[in-house]
Structures are given as C-alpha cells and as structure tokens.
Amino acid sequence: MSASPQDIAGKRCLYTGETFQEAFRVLGKLRQGEAPIPTAANPDQVLLEARVLLNLLESRNIYTRYPLGIVAVHPAPDTIGLQVESVERATEILFNILPAFGPDGELHGVPGLRIARWHKTAIELRVLGQPARLRLSGLPCRLWRQAEADTLPGWIDPAEMRLCWRSSPAQYTTVERERRNMWEDPDDDYVQRVRRGAWLSSGLLRRAALLHTVSNAFAADGYHSLGANVAPLVVRSSHVRGHGPGPHHIVAALLDPVFGLPLRVARFQGDTDESYGADQHFVLKDRSGTGALDLRASTEKPSSRMDDTLWRSIMRRLPTRGFTGPEAGPLAILNCVGAP
C-alpha cells in the first residue's frame, strides 16, 4: 500500500524541520518519480553544501537551542535554504563562510562566495561564476545586515583584513583563485577523496534536522578525518540521558530506502540499551566506497558554560518520539552491520 501525500509530507518534515504546510506545498510541485528530498542538481552545488556542512560542524563557539543552530533546511535541486536560529548564530556562520584574508595571505571562508541579494527575511549567497546558491533565512533584513556587520570585530586585527565579499564583489581575488585551484587539484589525493565524498555531506545537510527531530541530541560538531580510500566525515553528537529517543534513530532514518541515503552500517560499538546512557559509535558507508559517516554519539550533561534558560528551552523541544520504520530498533540496525 503506497503512502498518502500527507504521510510523505509528515516524513519529509522529520528530515528537514519544515512545517507540514511547507513540506506539503513543495511535494505537491514534484513531478512523478522525483525524490521527496531532492539531491543537488550539479557538482558545484554539491561542493558548496559540503563546505557549508563542514563549517556548521567545525565552527561552534556558542551554544544553541538546536544542535547546529539550524531550525530547518529547505532543499531544492538548484539551491538549499537554512533557517538560522538566532542573530548570534547567523554572525558565526557568516564569519566562517564569507571569504577574507589578512597580511599573511591565508584565506578564510569559501572562495568566491558573495552576498548576492538581501530579502525581507533572508539573504542569498552565490559562488562567483557558478550556479551554486545558499539561502539563509529566519531573521528580518535589519538583523541580517547586523550579522554581516558583526563579523568584522571577530578578527584579531580587523583593519588588516581584506573582506573579499565587500572589496571585490564581482570577481575573485588572487588569493581566492589560488585557494579554489588548490581544492580542484586532480593530483592531490586528499582533495580528491573529499570531493568524491561530497555527495554524503551534501545529503546530510539536506537532512540536517534529523539531529533534533528524531533524537535527543542537544549539540553536535565534527570534522573530516583521514582514511585509506575516503575522507570520513566525523559527526560527534551529545545526547540527553533518559529524555526522548536515542541516537540510533538518526541512523535508522539515514537507512530509510526512500528518504535516507545509500548507506549501510559497516561498524558499531557501544551498548544497544540506551537507557544506561552508554556511548554509541556507528560507521556508515556506501557500497561504492566513496563516502563514510563516522557518527560518535555520547550521553552527556550540559556544559557549565551553558545558560540554564537555554538548557530548559532545549529540554522543552526534545522530541518524545523517534524514527519509526523497518530498521528503527537498535537490534534491527545492528543486523545490517557488515551487510553486502
């Protein structure tokens, strides 16, 4: 029996964090046979999304209500939208993705990324000479302008920094061109491993809400590590003990044959009984060997630096139900370990 449009919309909401009305409206525009969560339509979009996800994971200097500071994602074939939680998180994101360099010539951010348009409640960013687009929403325009301005004091010596998106809005700077060429180097083995696995990071960004819709995660960070044939993406998630569904629900959702990604569980360490609060370690890989997700879930108490009001807000938003499906239980997931 096929799922109803309402069921499909409800399930998409788990992955994206969209409202039911938003998901239902988007799904109503799909052509028959199109995936309910589309993949990025071109390699440039895939690479931009991979860079953005890595930035969201690596650059965490503030605590947020949602694990990544992202309330919802809005994936479309030619772009992706991220609904940002607060002006502080917006500033942090812009600080780390907008390109700038100082006297040492070291480039920070994404080469060629520019603010292309200001909207009433969003800003649109594009990579020069490419179709890749990113839309950041969730704040009124005046706060987006404040967030962009607030990036400047983040530098140790702002007067010495060259802000490429301001000083060279229509063309690449020399340093940006050099960095872009480095990340396109066909002779650099690590660069090529990262590029081959970019589809995984892009796919995860398009499903980023899973961290807070189907599990009791309250924080997440990560990085790329070195692997023999791939550059595994390490995601470290912090979970609340005894409140809401545990981390295995994230894995179950990623294994879903329609909404998930083409992954299998290659390795597992930990206790399947999450009521004990034991850590869990999942390694998921694709069958072609191009991507690997290293999910390290820990049951932790909040940091002493986290504000009590914020922690109470996190506890109120924790889901009461996790992901339901054919592989939703811990033991069912473990039956997939080593599957061909």
Residue 193's pLDDT is 85
pTM confidence score: 0.93
Residue 330's pLDDT is 53
Phi-psi region of 316 (alpha: psi -120 to 50; beta: other; left: phi over 0): alpha
State the Cα–Cα distance between residues 76 and 42, nearest whole angstrom.
11
DSSP 8-state class, residue 241: T
20 close to 9: Cβ distance less than 8 angstroms? yes
Instruction: Give the three-class secondary structure for 27.
Output: helix
Which amino acid is it at 152?
Answer: L
Residue 103's pLDDT is 82
DSSP 8-state class, residue 276: G
For residue 138, CA distances in Å to 66, 305, 310 come to 14, 26, 19
Which amino acid is it at 129?
Answer: G
The continuous run of DSSP H or E covering 281 comes out as: strand 280-285
Q: Which of 278, 281, 246 is nearest to 265 (CA)?
A: 281
The DSSP bridge partners found for residue 73 are 82
State the Cα–Cα distance between residues 184 and 187, nearest whole angstrom.
9
State the Cα–Cα distance between residues 238 and 330, nearest whole angstrom.
18
Q: Give the angle 37-40-291 at the CA atoms, nearest 5°.
A: 90
Q: b/e for 132-145, b at 16 or more Cβ within 10 A?
A: bbbbbbbbeeebbe
Residue 184's pLDDT is 80
State the Cα–Cα distance between residues 49 and 51, nearest whole angstrom.
5
From the CB of residue 231, how many other CB atoms can be counted at a distance below 10 Å? Answer: 24
Residue 31's pLDDT is 80
The continuous run of DSSP H or E covering 190 comes out as: helix 189-196
Residue 275's pLDDT is 74
Averages of pLDDT over each 10 residues, the chain, 340 residues: 83 96 92 89 95 92 94 96 96 95 87 96 96 96 96 83 93 93 82 90 98 96 84 94 92 94 93 79 93 94 92 96 70 52
Sign (positive or negative) of CA dihedral 300, 301, 304, 310: positive
State the Cα–Cα distance between residues 75 and 87, nearest whole angstrom.
22
